[in-house]
Structure formats: structure tokens, C-alpha cells
């Protein structure tokens, strides 16, 4: 049985949560391998909507291991809230396993994330302000706090002290800026507490450690054991290829690597352990936050997508920018990931549009034809897309359950996309619920 990676191929929010929940059916473990609570993964089951930020999207299958791998950055407060939310919904988290090597998001990371964004002003990235970037920075700087540190007061105190030492200057600046932060905060947004004294932090985090201890495991070994026993392990990505720190639209990216290759590092398995890679792609494109987006729409078509697709961020509630499907970017993303299958979600949202455009190449400012996704930032920022227009379909498809139920124009759209990128579309989403899917080419 294979290791199977599920990854986003655009700028996030493609519907990875739903696809993970579906494919988890015959898996024994579902493993998140990067990102943190910048992610928001939605599953709709029996009319009930679940939103997960840190907990892997396999948690509704109580007989499977749900693993938060070493590559994830964990805000323990958010994780405990999520566990509590599940308990209230009658869902057990007993099968949750947390890597002892995963790094923690500390209150100062959240504060720094907000302050850094404000400092950047017009150039800000539009981060989720969850402390993701500063937490990964501390990890690379080797002054991060790890899950295992929560279990030893002496070590925890020493490590927090070292981390604070390095931030004293920044934190002092922050205190001065606090009034400004408060003024610029979005309505209802709660700024993190600025009282970052060592004693308070140690006490707070020891408390989290106490509550999380039953879940802490050697998750790498757990993955090996499952794979070696011939069981299917799903590696669930957060974010997406174009937000990848190395391969995305830098600097408008997240601070981890969401591509399939990173599952090896973020879970501790080898490349040969992963034999299937599913790229999740929305039938159009959305993006939250700043950065280039060649096929972005500002017209009625974009409004149609935003409205019918309910395009608001799962984590921050911000409106998502919408645009046509970008096949130049999708081809790049599928190759980066070595995708073996595509799951196309939200095809239902396109119903009612007269024509469907898909970008098949870009043109540079100087008029050059760009068939490949440009690596140079300035080229991408000024690239304009060239489209092929495909016929639209007027009929609703939310009740379609097989390829034959789809109008010819919808089928044509699917085959144009899979032919263009050279990867089969195996699953099509026609609505948010778990049963609103069509298996194709199987």
C-alpha cells in the first residue's frame, strides 16, 4: 500500500480537507506535514460543517491515526481549543498523535508577525498573523521551542529565556508600537497580550504540555510502522504550491514548503515511501492576501465565483480574490509535485457562466510569449494571461454523481484541463458535502 500525498496546486483553499476526508476511508493514518493554524480545512458531513486548522482532516474517522508531524508549527492553545471543540461535537481525539519534534508558535511569534506586517506597510504579505513566519524563522535559527520541551520545566525555562533574549530589542520596539497596532487592528481582532514575561510564559506552556502529553509520540516511527505493515498513509498538505517558500510567488508565500516532496521532511519518510500524489485544484482560482495573480478578475465573472463559491478565508474570514483557472500555473504545480492525479473541486460554482476561460500562456510586458510559469518575480508581476474560451454550462450540477450526469460543456472543461497538464482528473467536486463528488477515469 502506498504513501499518498494530498497537496494544493494553487494558492490554497482548493478543498484539500474534503478530499483528505474522502481518501482517508481506506488509510490507516493521516499525517499533516507542514504549516500551522494559517490553514483552514473544511469538511461537510451529514450537513454539519467542521473546520480544522491543525488537526488532520482524517479525525472524523475514529479508527485511524491522525498525526501532526514534525514539520508542522503548533500553537498549543489553538490545538487544545480544536480538541475541545471536537469533544463538544462528540468526536474523540484519542487517535491524535503529535510529534515531539514539532515546533511551537509562541505568543511573541504572533506579536512579531503582526508587527512585521505593519512595518512592511504597502508591501505587506497579507499573512494570517498567526505567527507562522516568525516560528519557522526561530526553528531555522535554532532557538525554537519544541513540543518535547513542554515536558521539562527546566529546559522549557532555559529555552524560552534564550528565545526572549534574542527578541528583547524587537519586543521593546513592539511595546512602543503597541498603541499603533491597536489602532490599526481590524474590528474585533484581538491583539496578543504584550506581557511576555518569562515566568508567565513558562507557567502557561507547562500547562499546555500537561494537557498535550498523552498525545505526544514518536510520529516518524508511527509512519514507518504503518507503511512497513503495508497500510496506506496519507500525507495531508496545507497551503499550496504557489505559496511554497522556495517555488511559490516569493515573497508573497508562506514560510514552509507545501509541495509533496516536503512530506518526506515534515513526516520523516523517504521519497520512495510516497507512490501517489493527488493535486487538488479548484475549477477556478482564488487567493487570499497579497501577491501576483495573473488571472484575477474584477468583473461580474469574478463576483459570480466569489458569491457562489462563498469565497471567504476559512481562517481569517477575509474575502478571497477570484479569477479564471490558470493552466500555466497548474502545469507548473503538477510538475513540482509530481502529481499522479488531480481532484477538481467546485465545478458546480461555474454553472451559469456563458463561457469559461482558461489561461494557456502568458505574455510578458515586452510582448514575449511565455508558455512556462516564469521564475522571475518582475516577469510574473507584469505578465498578462492569454485565454482559450470554452463553452459554459447553464444547468446546476450539484446532484450529478457520475460523469454521464454532467452536461457536455462541463465534461469538455475537465478533459481540456487534464489534456493540457497531462494528469488525469480522478475526482470532481460538485458541492461541499462529502457525497457531492464524481469519480472519473476509475
Interface residues with ligand GDP (CB under 6 A) are 8, 12-18, 39-42, 44, 314, 345-346, 348-349, 429-432, 436
193 catalytic per annotation = no
How many other CB atoms are found less than 10 A from the CB of residue 121? 7
Residues 7-26 that bind ligand IMO (CB under 6 A): 8, 11-13
- What's the CA gap between 80 and 351, in Å, rounded? 40
18 binds, among Mg ion, ligand GDP, ligand IMO, none (CB under 5 to 8 A by kind): ligand GDP
Give yes or no for a cis peptide into 173 (omega within 30° of 0): no
- Confirm or reject binding of residue 309 to ligand IMO (CB under 6 A): no
31, 106, 243, 359: residue in contact with ligand IMO (rule CB under 6 A): 243
3-state SS string for 193-220: CCCCCHHHHHHHHHHHHHHHHHHEECHH
Q: Which residue is nearest to ligand GDP (CB)?
A: 429
* String of contacts with Mg ion for each residue 190-219, x by CB under 5 A: ------------------------------
- Residue 243 interaction partner, one of ligand IMO, ligand GDP, Mg ion, none, beta carbon < 5-8 Å per kind: ligand IMO
Three-state SS string over the chain comes to CCEEEEEECCCCCCCHHHHHHHHHHHCCEEEECCECCCCCEEEEECCEEEEECCCCCCCCCCCCEEEECCCEEECHHHHHHHHHHHHHCCCCCCCEEEECCCEECCHHHHHHHHHHHHHHHHHCCCCCCCCHHHHHHHHHCCCCCEHHHHHCHHHHHHHHHHHHHHHHHHHHHHHHHHHHHHHHCCCCCCCCCCCCCHHHHHHHHHHHHHHHHHHEECHHHHHHHHHHCCCCEEEECCCCHHHCCCCCCCCCCCCCCCCCCHHHHHHCCCHHHEEEEEEEEECCEEECCCCCCCCECCCHHHHHHHHHCCCECCCCCCECEEECEEHHHHHHHHHHHCCCEEEEECHHHHCCCCEEEEEEEEECCCCCEECCCCCCHHHHHHCEEEEEEEECCCCCCCCCCCHHHCCHHHHHHHHHHHHHHCCCEEEEECCCECCCEEECCC
Active site includes 41? yes
Cβ nearer to Mg ion, comparing 285 with 418: 285
Nearer to ligand GDP, 271 or 317 (CB): 317
Q: From the list 8, 35, 36, 40, which residue makes contact with Mg ion (rule: CB under 5 A)?
A: 40
Piece of the chain touching ligand IMO by CB under 6 A; list 35-43, 177-185, 202-210, 260-268: 35-43
For Mg ion, the binding residues in 296-355 under the rule CB under 5 A are 314
Q: Which stretch binds ligand IMO (CB under 6 A): 98-106, 236-244, 334-342, 364-372?
A: 236-244
- Based on CB atoms, which residue is closest to Mg ion, 112 or 262? 262
Q: Which does 254 bind (CB under 5 to 8 A by kind): Mg ion, ligand GDP, ligand IMO, none?
A: ligand IMO
- Determine, following the binding rule CB under 5 A, whether residue 124 of this chain makes contact with Mg ion: no
Which lies closer to ligand GDP via its Cβ, residue 215 or residue 278?
A: 278
Stretch of residues binding ligand IMO (CB under 6 A), selected from 34-42, 100-108, 205-213, 391-399: 34-42
- Choice from 22, 54, 83, 125 touching ligand IMO (CB under 6 A): 125
Cell numbers for 257: 514548503
In the complex, the smallest distance separating the C-beta of residue 354 from ligand GDP, rounded to whole angstroms, is 20
To the nearest whole angstrom, how small is the minimum distance from the Cβ of residue 439 to ligand GDP?
A: 13
Site string for ligand IMO, 269-308 (x = CB under 6 A): -------------------xx-------------------
Contact 3, 273 (CB under 8 A): yes
Q: Which one of 76, 133, 268, 374 is in contact with ligand IMO (CB under 6 A)?
A: 133
User: In terms of CB distance, is 305 or 370 closer to ligand IMO?
Assistant: 305
Active site residues: 13, 41
Contact footprint for ligand IMO (CB under 6 A): 8, 11-13, 38-41, 125-128, 130, 132-133, 238-240, 243, 254-255, 288-289, 314
Amino acid at each position: 500500500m502506498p504513501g499518498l500525498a494530498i497537496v494544493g496546486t494553487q494558492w490554497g483553499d482548493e478543498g484539500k480537507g474534503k478530499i483528505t476526508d474522502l481518501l482517508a476511508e481506506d488509510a490507516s493514518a493521516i499525517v499533516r506535514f507542514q504549516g500551522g493554524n494559517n490553514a483552514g480545512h473544511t469538511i461537510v458531513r451529514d450537513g454539519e460543517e467542521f473546520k480544522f486548522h491543525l488537526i488532520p482532516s482524517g479525525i472524523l474517522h475514529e479508527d485511524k491515526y491522525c498525526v501532526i508531524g514534525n514539520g508542522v508549527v503548533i500553537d498549543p492553545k489553538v490545538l487544545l481549543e480544536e480538541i475541545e471543540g471536537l469533544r463538544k461535537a462528540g468526536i474523540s481525539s484519542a487517535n491524535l498523535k503529535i510529534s515531539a519534534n514539532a515546533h511551537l508558535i509562541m505568543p511573541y511569534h504572533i506579536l512579531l508577525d503582526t508587527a512585521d506586517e505593519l512595518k512592511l506597510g504597502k508591501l505587506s504579505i497579507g499573512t494570517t498573523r498567526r505567527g507562522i513566519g516568525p516560528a519557522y524563522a526561530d526553528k531555522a535559527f535554532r532557538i525554537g521551542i519544541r513540543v518535547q520541551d513542554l515536558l521539562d520545566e527546566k529546559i522549557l525555562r532555559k529555552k524560552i529565556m534564550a528565545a526572549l533574549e534574542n527578541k528583547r530589542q524587537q519586543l521593546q520596539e513592539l511595546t512602543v508600537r503597541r498603541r499603533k497596532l491597536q489602532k490599526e487592528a481590524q474590528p474585533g481582532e484581538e491583539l496578543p497580550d504584550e506581557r511576555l514575561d518569562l515566568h508567565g510564559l513558562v507557567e502557561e506552556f507547562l500547562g499546555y504540555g500537561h494537557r498535550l502529553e498523552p498525545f505526544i509520540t514518536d510520529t516518524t516511527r508511527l509512519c514507518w510502522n504503518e507503511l512497513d505493515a503495508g497500510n496506506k498513509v496519507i500525507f495531508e498538505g496545507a497551503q499550496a504550491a504557489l505559496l511554497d517558500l522556495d517555488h511559490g510567488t516569493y515573497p508573497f508565500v508562506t514560510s514552509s514548503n507545501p509541495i509533496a516532496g516536503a512530506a518526506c521532511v515534515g513526516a520523516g519518510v523517504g521519497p520512495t515511501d510516497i507512490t501517489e500524489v493527488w493535486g487538488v485544484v479548484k475549477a477556478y482560482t482564488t487567493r487570499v492576501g497579497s501577491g501576483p495573480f495573473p488571472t484575477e478578475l474584477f468583473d461580474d465573472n469574478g463576483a459570480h465565483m466569489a458569491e457562489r463559491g462563498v469565497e471567504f478565508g476559512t481562517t481569517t474570514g477575509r474575502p478571497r480574490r477570484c479569477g479564471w483557472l490558470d493552466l500555466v500555473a497548474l502545469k507548473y504545480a503538477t510538475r513540482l509535485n509530481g502529481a499522479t492525479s488531480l481532484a477538481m473541486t467546485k465545478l458546480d460554482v461555474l454553472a451559469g457562466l456563458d463561457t469559461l476561460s482558461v489561461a494557456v500562456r502568458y505574455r510578458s510586458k515586452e510582448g514575449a510569449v511565455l508558455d512556462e510559469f516564469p521564475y522571475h518575480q518582475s516577469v510574473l508581476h507584469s505578465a498578462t494571461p492569454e485565454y482559450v474560451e470554452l463553452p459554459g454550462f447553464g444547468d446546476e450540477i450539484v446532484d450529478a454523481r457520475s460523469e454521464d450526469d454532467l452536461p457536455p460543456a462541463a465534461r469538455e472543461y475537465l478533459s481540456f484541463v487534464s489534456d493540457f497538464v497531462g494528469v488525469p482528473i480522478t475526482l470532481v467536486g460538485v458541492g461541499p458535502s462529502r457525497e457531492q463528488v464524481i469519480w472519473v477515469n476509475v
